[in-house]
Amino acid sequence: MEGADQGGAPGASRDAQDVAATLAGDPTAFDALVDRYKTRVYGVVYNILQNHDDAWDVTQEAFLKAYKSLHGYHGKSNFYTWLYRIAVNHAINYRKKRKDAVSVPLTGFEDSIERDPAYEELIVQEKASKDAVLGELKEKLNESLSKLSKEHRAVVVLHDIEGLHHKEIAKILKCSEGTVRSRLHYAHLQLQSLLSNYLKR
């Protein structure tokens, strides 16, 4: 993934060049930004909305909003942080309901589990094979995550799945780091409560 990781933005200078070129009228420069971030933005939005069609719609809306608002981006934060803020806000505010929504296991959640001690007991207690455990675990986590509010789900997605730091998440959600920590703590407690029956197996 070019452009960003949890510790910073190796592609920040390239982003700045593409932003400047877009504002100067280069029609291909914004396409480069879209190509650089579309997969990751879609992943974040999908994990909040839990629906592929809705996530695709919101991802397109987010990039369109970013393009129209690009003149207002002054480089005070990394471009991807600014873009994530737009995408996450669109996802949280998205009110469309789909009767045919399909729940799909969360891509990347098994990696975040290993980073969070709160979930380690799940794997320790399971007696089945590793693949079977992860498959069932992802399904349970997906089901539980869908029951959180979009605000709490967004924090879990950005921290546990995307690996962003509290400071970055605070910038994206336009809230304090304390609020991020509070929401994350509450979300983890809720997930543990929702997964309690599975934990006791």
pLDDT digits (tens, 9 = 90+) for 99-157: 334 444 444 444 543 454 544 554 444 444 455 545 666 777 778 888 889 899 999 99
Written as six digits, the tokens of 99 are 């009767």
Q: Residue 103 falls within a domain, yes or no? A: no
Written as six digits, the tokens of 173 are 């959600």
pLDDT at 100: 39
Decide which of 177 and 13 is more confident. 177
pLDDT at 195: 78
- Neighbour tally for 101: CB within 10 Å: 14
- Find the mean pLDDT for residues 93-97: 64
Written as six digits, the tokens of 58 are 């919101």
Written as six digits, the tokens of 176 are 């304090």
**Domain final residue, candidates 93, 125, 151:** 93
**Domain final residue, candidates 24, 59, 93:** 93
Q: What is the CATH number of the domain that holds 127?
A: 1.10.10.10
Same-domain pairing of 193 and 114? yes
pLDDT at 121: 52
Written as six digits, the tokens of 104 are 């799909």
- Find the mean pLDDT for residues 49-78: 90
How many domains in the chain?
A: 2
Q: Residue 21 falls within a domain, yes or no? A: yes
Same-domain pairing of 64 and 115? no
Q: Residue 104 falls within a domain, yes or no? A: no
pLDDT band for 201, please (50, 70, 90 cuts).
low
Decide which of 95 and 76 is more confident. 76
Same-domain pairing of 87 and 119? no
HSE-CB of 16 using CA atoms within 13 angstroms: 10
Collect all residues with Cβ–Cβ distance below 8 Å to 82 and sequence separation of at least 6.
Answer: 66, 73
pLDDT at 200: 60
Same-domain pairing of 120 and 195? yes
pLDDT at 11: 63
What is the average pLDDT value for the chain, to the nearest integer?
77
Same-domain pairing of 193 and 144? yes
Same-domain pairing of 145 and 173? yes
Percent pLDDT > 70 in the chain is 70
Per the structure, the complete domain to which residue 190 belongs is given by 109-199
**Domain final residue, candidates 62, 93, 124:** 93
pLDDT at 96: 47
pTM score of the predicted model? 0.63
